[in-house]
Chains A and B, each alone.
Chain A
């Protein structure tokens, strides 16, 4: 079974502060991990995926297989980063995409 846990439902930081959104997963094989973002009243969109090892909008995420984590980080938060963030896992077969509960990030001025 595959499972994704985002322990923080709400996260509030001030503009310019570092931000870290936590994601832990459970999967017996080699997972593919993603972060999706949903801005207010918009559709979900892919933010980044671990396989690409990329930085999007200043966000990065490193897959830590030892700790089964895929935390999302940004060194200096901006107000436009305020959104709902979902961590997601796809297993080997690719048939299912399991989402975490989501973390609502608010960046205050």
Chain B
């Protein structure tokens, strides 16, 4: 089954304790992205990656890091989490655009609910 998986699904941690949220897709998608979802703000893009070893900042990258060493994985790293990073995080993937096609549909993971105390 084609899917995007995230782990863990729920995480409670304390300020300053480094954590990693994993994201994996089995659709051979080049593009992967991380979003955070907050009430009243919708989804905001944190980082995205157009392919292996290619990453770029989204709208709210501060306090986050990513890496793309393999095509299928795109982990989100919080080096020193703070309470304002308490949120629901979504990973997504899609194939990249090709001539004459519009493959911009993103497939989303189930979400990771992070609480930083």
Partners in one complex: yes
Complex-state Cα separation, A98 to B104, whole angstroms: 12
- Does B40 contact A101, Cβ atoms closer than 8 Å? yes
* Inter-chain contact total with CB atoms closer than 8 Å: 54
- Does A94 contact B40, Cβ atoms closer than 8 Å? no
- Does B43 contact A99, Cβ atoms closer than 8 Å? yes
Binds A, one of B17-25, B67-75, B78-86, B106-114: B106-114
- Does A49 contact B43, Cβ atoms closer than 8 Å? no
Give residues 28-43 of B contacting A (CB, 8 Å): 31, 33, 35, 40-43
- Does A43 contact B105, Cβ atoms closer than 8 Å? no
Complex-state Cα separation, A96 to B56, whole angstroms: 10
- Does A51 contact B102, Cβ atoms closer than 8 Å? yes
Interface size class of B (residues with CB under 8 A): 20 to 34
- Does A43 contact B109, Cβ atoms closer than 8 Å? yes
Complex-state Cα separation, A96 to B59, whole angstroms: 9
- B50 within 8 Å of A by Cβ? yes
Complex-state Cα separation, A44 to B41, whole angstroms: 15
- Does A97 contact B97, Cβ atoms closer than 8 Å? no
B-chain residues with CB within 8 Å of residue A51 when the two chains form the complex: 102
- A53 within 8 Å of B by Cβ? no
The 7 closest A-B pairs by CB, nearest first: A99-B43, A101-B42, A44-B108, A94-B97, A90-B104, A99-B42, A43-B108
